[in-house]
Structure 1
Amino acid sequence: MTQRTTSGARPASVLLRRGEIHSPADPFATAMLVTGDRVAWLGSESAADALADFADETVDLAGSLVTPAFTDAHVHTTATGLALTGLDLSGAGDLGAALAAVSAHAEGRPAHEVLLGHGWDAARWPERRAPGRAELDRAAGGRPLYLSRVDAHSALATTALLDLVPGVTRRAGWAEDQPLTGDAHHAVRRAAYGTLTPRQRAEAQRAARRRAAAQGIGALHECAGPEISSEEDLVALLALASAEPGPRVVGYWAERVTDAKDVQRVRELGALGAAGDLFADGSLGSHTAHLGQPYADAPGTGLAHLTEDEIATHVAVCTEAGLQAGFHAIGDAAVGTVLRGTRAAAKRVGLDRVRGLRHRVEHAELLTEALIGELAALGMTASVQPAFDATWGGQDGMYAARLGAERAAALNPFAALARAGVPLAFGSDAPVTPLDPWGALRAAAHHRTPAHRISVRAAFTAHTRGGWRAVGRDDAGVLVPGAPADYAVWHTGELLVQAPDDRVARWSTDPRSGTPGLPDLSPGTPLPECQRTVVGGQIVYDRLNE
């Protein structure tokens, strides 16, 4: 019989029985004992009988799967919550639908209220263009409106919002009646998000954490920074996550450091590192990712935001302070600059010290064999998003339009990264793509370029243990005695052990393999449904008894 515990409560001990426990410590375990905030034991039903009288609560799993909770290694929490609770244009199939959604959202709202929206993508609209400012002004009824593109690297704004940003037309990235990029975009975004009240911010953060918990996510890496959020936003999020039950939040602050005072500021914010979206370039969708060769559908090679020397100083100062460093880099030219700068820092402070801090590269999409080898040599973590390939990959996708089919096929080479020994941490970049860890695993195992596919098991590790290793923790993201009690309970179908080409390994049903199975993630099969999410022994999402 399952005894119900109120969400947020943490009984002294919980015994879970009659399920499938995904654990390398005992691949055949059907029961797990949690004491306080730690996993205490895993094993068989016969052994569980002897423990039942000592547990404060017994949960009958009725065959459900228990896994470590997922970690999403790249999230923008407040922006995700605003998209969940506000104007989300990701479902707009054409220009007219987007404008209609803006009008419906604006209707009845005060004329002075700054409206916030996200998710438009003109690359997939039949019109192949973004709305002009006059069209947006009419749709918004003259109200101030900020609309970030799906990749969050360019945006649209109405005249009423632009009027709140003095000198915006003189900033880099401004072009009359075109999407905002660069400094112009950052200034308008700051003005728009600066109108959020503490209550609105907290509501958005709670909404994002609730959605994450409902997806079996137990930890989020918040990628904050002066160009994409604010110090107040990060501090408030970390305080909320500390005070309220829900997924853990690890904060990163994306500001370049040059001395000990800068390091101290990062630490005072509560951030684990000066990393995350510290921009070395932009995005492919906005033509701002920095490439070695020009775009196929536009002139130029994108934007470089950091020099090799600036990167070297940042990495060296962070390393000497024991602070994790990291960069947003998508194009091959940007990744190359990051790696040359990190190599220069290693010459100053020592390669072992650089490797020991597991500095990060976010996205790392367009890579060569040489760049992958250098990532491995420097011990850098690749924080990557499999849903990017599912959303924009393929011969007819946005990537192929931007780069041509041949170059686009080189994007997101997960298999090559894994073979080279580059640590992988999976995330969503929400709200760019949704919080959807099983969808990410499916995208990695069924990459649109077959050579880049990895096994479901490798993808699962990258989305659980890989996220913890990326923050320097090797004791979490796995269900073994002594590990944090961060886990999720799933309703799912048959469990398999799958190879990267979607074959079920011949030895997967042999008990001697000792390999725990995972759900069948073949295209078209239903994804697992989360029944309960537990973080540190506390229930943060619960549908187990419905």
Structure 2
Amino acid sequence: MPSPLFSPDLIFFNGAIATQNSGQPFAQAVAVGNGRILAVGEDNDILKLAGAGTEKIDLDGRLVVPGFIDTHIHFYEWALNRQGLRLDDLTCIEDLASRLQQAAANQPTGRWIMGQGWNETDWTAPRMPTRDVLDKAAPDHPVLLWRCDLHLAAANSPALKLAGIDADTPDPPEGRIERDAAGNPTGILRELAINLARDAVAPPDSDQIMRAFADATGALHRRGVTGIVDVRLMNDKDGVSALQTFQKMDATGDLALRSWVSLPGEQLDAIIGLGLRTGFGGDRLRIGHVKYFSDGGMGARTAWMIDPFLDAECGMPLMDMDCLANDVDRADAAGLSVMIHAVGDRANRELIDLFENLESRRNRSGRPRPAISHRIEHVQMIRPEDADRLGRLHLALCVTPSNMVLDMNLIDAAVGEKGRWCYAFRRLLDTGAPVMFSSDCPVCDPAPLPAIHAAATRQRSDGTPQSGWHPEERITVAEALAAYTATPAKVHQANDLGVIAPGKKSDLVVLSENILEIEPSRISETRVDMTVFGGRIVHREI
């Protein structure tokens, strides 16, 4: 083994190193220095490299993996919303009302109360939190509470008034204001109707955003996440602020995440005019994909379906497919990659048609592909005959195992037996298309270990359902680990990430258990004991 030119800063030994490097899949020790992996091998060989200033860390059998990359996170929204009401642990609408009432008692009259995470399908009595419920709990504060999936929100009367929403307000394009029998808004806002209320909230200042970003970065490190793809919401007006904040943190050396920042599709003309390309950037900050939406979500019943929901119609497209195809073609010609949200089976079928037509035109014209693959986001419900078409296309797929846990009851109620086509991780991997994992945070907590547990067991953390939810779609823990590490690095042409090998960047995670050897059911009990970013320990429990 050749010796490095300088002594390592850190040596991890007496462990299991899962390198994601096919030439050396496993090792006992790894040496880190100057932000890079210096050597990987057996304990005796690596320990010989230690110098006077080297910190030697005895792993005591723990597993080391590459830093996790969350390939679909609404980082800007999550960072700011961490200060709002947490609503993901409620059991009934009375819990929501009680928590809101407590928050109102601690806030000055008239101040907005925001929150996110409620999921009525898991409550003891499923029921939407309409304005009447919210008004009783907080009559003197404007309230806006997002459902867990971000496709639906509940607003109270003061919030509706500030947003200018009343019986005469028309539904916005790609949005829906729910109304009672008399035509009055109930407070339930779907898709882009949410923006009417969101736009009434005063935006945070730059210092608030910087502090929120720093706090959220630490929270990701505690979960083992060292890389993210920050994704825009539909008709997002915060994209400029988000990118500016990432740039400020990168310029000052405070950005401690490998970050790809997506761009809003409605700004495509400006993006092309500026000459931006997906992948532009440096060591820590790069331009990501251009984001589009083809449909909504299951919970809001706005996912675009081939057949009607059991309790609703066929959902809705959120963009005209001809317009979307034109935008994708223009982006592709300009060297930009796109990412397109698709939840329903109709939306996924339409996108596969779109990308097949794009490839056909490319073959005729000889136009090169963008350097980084186009992506379909979520691929939540897809029919087998459409999934089989994916292997012939140059696409990356981004899925969210933790969202499956949230959606089990919802999907059973919404589509019944057709739920077997939802979150079809095994089928998607078998197509040969690269499959990446994500949290879709704040829809789900951004911790990768619960997501790996979900993908490998098709169960909740409590072991239900006992036989797994559509267990034929389970994947192995090794496949799930790759979907959080080597695969996203390869898709994004980040050739020095996602693998533990000499010369690669030293973004590492130390896990309390060897998840590749223990029973998958125990993965949810595993801890992140240490996170290393660029050779620096940023989270430590050992």
**Could you tell me the TM-score, scaled by structure 2's length?**
0.87
- Which residue identity does 1:485 align to in structure 2? S
1:538 and 1:156 map into 2 onto residues whose CA distance is 43
Summarize the Cα distance change of 1:328–1:293 in structure 2 as closer, same or farther, 3 Å threshold.
same
In the alignment, what sits opposite 1:296? Answer: 310
Question: Are the aligned partners of 1:385 and 1:429 in contact in 2 as well (CA < 8 Å)?
Answer: yes
SS in structure 2 at match of 1:473: coil
In the alignment, what sits opposite 1:509? Answer: none
- Which residue identity does 1:185 align to in structure 2? I
- Which residue identity does 1:402 align to in structure 2? A
- Which residue identity does 2:35 align to in structure 1? D
In the alignment, what sits opposite 2:231? Answer: 223
The question of 1:461 aligning with 2:464 is answered no
**What is the CA-CA distance between 1:92 and the residue it aligns to?**
1.2
SS in structure 1 at match of 2:154: strand
RMSD: 2.5
Summarize the Cα distance change of 1:263–1:485 in structure 2 as closer, same or farther, 3 Å threshold.
farther
**What is the CA-CA distance between 1:272 and the residue it aligns to?**
2.4
In the alignment, what sits opposite 1:391? Answer: 406
In the alignment, what sits opposite 2:497? Answer: 476
Which of these residues, 207, 211, 235, is aligned with residue 219 of structure 2? 211
In the alignment, what sits opposite 2:4? Answer: none
Q: How does 1:276-315 map to 2 (within 5 A)?
A: 276=291, 278-298=292-312, 300-315=313-328
Question: Are the aligned partners of 1:225 and 1:255 in contact in 2 as well (CA < 8 Å)?
Answer: no
In the alignment, what sits opposite 2:182? Answer: none
Question: Are the aligned partners of 1:360 and 1:382 in contact in 2 as well (CA < 8 Å)?
Answer: yes
C-alpha distance after superposition, 1:90-129 (max 9, x if no partner)? 1111011101101111213122322210011222223321
Which of these residues, 182, 194, 200, is aligned with residue 191 of structure 2? 182
Q: Unpaired segments of 5 or more residues in structure 1?
A: 1-10, 497-517
- Which residue identity does 1:435 align to in structure 2? P
Q: How does 1:73-92 map to 2 (within 5 A)?
A: 73-92=71-90
The question of 1:157 aligning with 2:173 is answered no
SS in structure 1 at match of 2:127: coil
2:286 and 2:46 map into 1 onto residues whose CA distance is 41
SS in structure 1 at match of 2:520: coil
2:273 and 2:411 map into 1 onto residues whose CA distance is 37
1:113 and 1:89 map into 2 onto residues whose CA distance is 19
Question: Are the aligned partners of 1:253 and 1:271 in contact in 2 as well (CA < 8 Å)?
Answer: no
Moved more, 284-293 or 116-125: 116-125
SS in structure 2 at match of 1:93: coil
The question of 1:532 aligning with 2:542 is answered no
1:67 and 1:271 map into 2 onto residues whose CA distance is 23
1:339 and 1:485 map into 2 onto residues whose CA distance is 37
Q: How does 1:358-507 map to 2 (within 5 A)?
A: 358-393=373-408, 397-404=409-416, 406-447=417-458, 448-492=469-513, 495=514
**What is the CA-CA distance between 1:150 and the residue it aligns to?**
0.8
Summarize the Cα distance change of 1:261–1:108 in structure 2 as closer, same or farther, 3 Å threshold.
closer
Question: Are the aligned partners of 2:66 and 2:499 in contact in 1 as well (CA < 8 Å)?
Answer: yes
Question: Are the aligned partners of 2:8 and 2:31 in contact in 1 as well (CA < 8 Å)?
Answer: no
In the alignment, what sits opposite 1:52? Answer: 50
C-alpha distance after superposition, 1:252-287 (max 9, x if no partner)? 1232465475453866998624434x2110000110
1:205 and 1:28 map into 2 onto residues whose CA distance is 35
In the alignment, what sits opposite 1:6? Answer: none
In the alignment, what sits opposite 2:67? Answer: 69
**What is the CA-CA distance between 1:310 and the residue it aligns to?**
1.8
Summarize the Cα distance change of 1:429–1:519 in structure 2 as closer, same or farther, 3 Å threshold.
farther
**What is the CA-CA distance between 1:519 and the residue it aligns to?**
4.6
**What is the CA-CA distance between 1:241 and the residue it aligns to?**
4.6
Moved more, 237-246 or 459-468: 237-246
Question: Are the aligned partners of 2:378 and 2:398 in contact in 1 as well (CA < 8 Å)?
Answer: yes
The question of 1:124 aligning with 2:128 is answered no
- Which residue identity does 1:464 align to in structure 2? T
In the alignment, what sits opposite 2:464? Answer: none
Question: Are the aligned partners of 1:247 and 1:540 in contact in 2 as well (CA < 8 Å)?
Answer: no
In the alignment, what sits opposite 2:257? Answer: 247
C-alpha distance after superposition, 1:209-260 (max 9, x if no partner)? 2221001111111102463451243224413552425332211123246547
1:352 and 1:463 map into 2 onto residues whose CA distance is 31
SS in structure 2 at match of 1:275: strand
1:99 and 1:384 map into 2 onto residues whose CA distance is 33
Question: Are the aligned partners of 1:72 and 1:217 in contact in 2 as well (CA < 8 Å)?
Answer: yes
Q: Unpaired segments of 5 or more residues in structure 2?
A: 1-6, 179-184, 459-468
2:211 and 2:135 map into 1 onto residues whose CA distance is 27
Summarize the Cα distance change of 1:422–1:525 in structure 2 as closer, same or farther, 3 Å threshold.
closer
2:102 and 2:80 map into 1 onto residues whose CA distance is 16
- Which residue identity does 1:170 align to in structure 2? P
Summarize the Cα distance change of 1:450–1:359 in structure 2 as closer, same or farther, 3 Å threshold.
same
C-alpha distance after superposition, 1:501-527 (max 9, x if no partner)? xxxxxxxxxxxxxxxxx2525225653
1:164 and 1:189 map into 2 onto residues whose CA distance is 10
- Which residue identity does 2:254 align to in structure 1? E
- Which residue identity does 2:481 align to in structure 1? F
Summarize the Cα distance change of 1:261–1:83 in structure 2 as closer, same or farther, 3 Å threshold.
closer
SS in structure 2 at match of 1:181: strand
Moved more, 160-169 or 441-450: 160-169
1:96 and 1:130 map into 2 onto residues whose CA distance is 11
Summarize the Cα distance change of 1:274–1:309 in structure 2 as closer, same or farther, 3 Å threshold.
farther
Percent identical pairs in the alignment equals 26
2:268 and 2:87 map into 1 onto residues whose CA distance is 39
In the alignment, what sits opposite 2:13? Answer: 17
**What is the CA-CA distance between 1:474 and the residue it aligns to?**
3.7
C-alpha distance after superposition, 1:338-397 (max 9, x if no partner)? 22222233333448834853101110111122322332222111100011222222xxx1
**What is the CA-CA distance between 1:482 and the residue it aligns to?**
1.5
1:443 and 1:154 map into 2 onto residues whose CA distance is 25
**What is the CA-CA distance between 1:13 and the residue it aligns to?**
2.9
SS in structure 2 at match of 1:303: coil
**Could you tell me the TM-score, scaled by structure 1's length?**
0.86
The question of 1:197 aligning with 2:216 is answered no
